[in-house]
Structure 1
């Protein structure tokens, strides 16, 4: 890397067309899109990061892995059928109307969208709205969804490091659905490599004001997954990650919460 030069990152996709699997291998940061036919990889063992000492007198936060397990019933696989391929990502329950949040790049160009819950029940979904400029989308399950929405942290992160848990669809990633990490920095600008964004696309070439996470590997299919604090509240939307380092980036929830709320208020 040249001194003073910002690192550049790439998206990656694994596609299957005409019986041939084509792998586009990322050498930098990856915005995750996978197809239904990706071979699952055995999950590696993840080491939990110890929580900092707490001064709370009335309650002690649960271990992060336990926080993640409680929330998993509200995390789903997002399956987006495109013209010649299928993309998989992760979504999480946003409200009581059966609305789920994911990344816009997961459902971009989708002809049909389905969500599959933890009990392997599949629901047809519609894209209520998406904003590719910040890479967010809201999907609605056509037949509703039973469950409490994930609680939201509506305050901006002002202190780091912050231990967190990333949740994902193991069906989409082929790896563990719970990963322990640490938010090491906020307000990061993350550039993608030239050519990653198609001409005429509204998708960003630089992701602004991102949360930087480290401490656990993140995989294709994690896109759209929630990042939770030790109280089980969503603080971010996992979007980008390194394929060869335990480093990832999430969209801060506070930056997009108003827009997500407006999307979910629409009639689908």
Structure 2
């Protein structure tokens, strides 16, 4: 019998247990409780130079999201819980794409820009079933990344992941890998299921949720949403998942024109 991946939200103040006896896929919002495996891609000098150029070019469009939510404190009251995630500018208005689980229940959201400054932001709208959301910054705008909605990724294609890994200060963390599978279906612990996902062996860490998965030319082919780790007797290494941009783009544009969540 094939094991089905189960997705756990990685929130240290809420996680009371885990799933045993199978591979666990975890949403990669950043509280530092899990980190992904290292990417296995090995590139030659010319390829590395090209990817370095892409990494430098896309950094100006990738941001860190700082989210505050209210959660039970276990004593009958509530406490503030902080979540770190990633987003990227995707349209001419400079709106920010991210995952819905990053901003779920947000009481406040701010964005750390590529230059290190922080600005306030609001959640325009979100679609939890698609795990997508749009955030709008106040008084700031960034150049959008190109969306490769017409590109059909293939297994073996190089991919670049950029994100707010472990909420480390400074520029986004950039990792490299390949598309290792297509059409994956992942079930979340809250009952949501995402299908048609890209699978990659690029290193995916806590805090990377909502970041772009890019082709070797720097076009967005997906949005990082989850990573897998070992549980019980099942061993998971170098497995991360992303929502294909061809499926995400229409939803993001719809959310960007919404007037409320």
- TM-score, normalised to structure 1's length? 0.78
Report the equivalent of 1:227. 213
Q: Is 2:118 aligned against 1:141?
A: no
What RMSD over aligned residues (CA atoms) do the two structures have, in Å?
Answer: 3.1
For the residues of structure 2 that align with 1:75 and 1:132, how far apart are their CA atoms? 22
Q: Deviations over 1:52-104 (max 9, x none)?
A: x9xxxxxx996223312210121111111101201110000112323100000
For the residues of structure 2 that align with 1:6 and 1:25, how far apart are their CA atoms? 16
Q: Map of 1:121-200 to 2, 5 A cutoff?
A: 121-145=117-141, 147-157=142-152, 159-170=154-165, 172=167, 177-192=173-188, 196-197=189-190
Counterpart contact for 2:84–2:164, Cα < 8 Å: no
* Residue 257 (structure 1) shift: 0.9
* Residue 172 (structure 1) shift: 1.9
Q: 1:267 to 1:164 in 2, by over 3 A?
A: same
2:52 aligned counterpart, secondary structure: helix
Report the equivalent of 2:7. 10
Q: 1:8 to 1:160 in 2, by over 3 A?
A: closer
* Residue 173 (structure 1) shift: 5.6
Q: Which of 72, 87, 92 does residue 88 from structure 2 map onto? A: 92
Unaligned runs of 5+ in 1: 54-59, 198-202
Q: Which of 219, 235, 246 does residue 254 from structure 1 map onto? A: 246
Unaligned runs of 5+ in 2: 71-79, 231-236
Q: Is 2:68 aligned against 1:81?
A: yes
Q: Is 2:233 aligned against 1:240?
A: no
For the residues of structure 2 that align with 1:11 and 1:39, how far apart are their CA atoms? 12
- Higher RCO (CA 8 Å, separation ≥ 6 residues): 2
Q: Which of 23, 42, 45 does residue 49 from structure 1 map onto? A: 42
* Residue 24 (structure 1) shift: 6.3
Report the equivalent of 2:255. 263
* Residue 134 (structure 1) shift: 0.7
Report the equivalent of 1:28. 24
Report the equivalent of 1:71. 58
Q: Deviations over 1:124-181 (max 9, x none)?
A: 1111111000100000001122x32111101142532210100002462689700101
1:7 aligned counterpart, secondary structure: coil
- TM-score, normalised to structure 2's length? 0.80
Counterpart contact for 1:15–1:85, Cα < 8 Å: no
Moved more, 173-182 or 82-91: 173-182
For the residues of structure 2 that align with 1:141 and 1:61, how far apart are their CA atoms? 33
Counterpart contact for 1:49–1:163, Cα < 8 Å: no
For the residues of structure 2 that align with 1:246 and 1:158, how far apart are their CA atoms? 18
Report the equivalent of 1:200. none
For the residues of structure 2 that align with 1:123 and 1:24, how far apart are their CA atoms? 35
Number of aligned residue pairs: 240
Q: Which of 95, 107, 112 does residue 108 from structure 2 map onto? A: 112
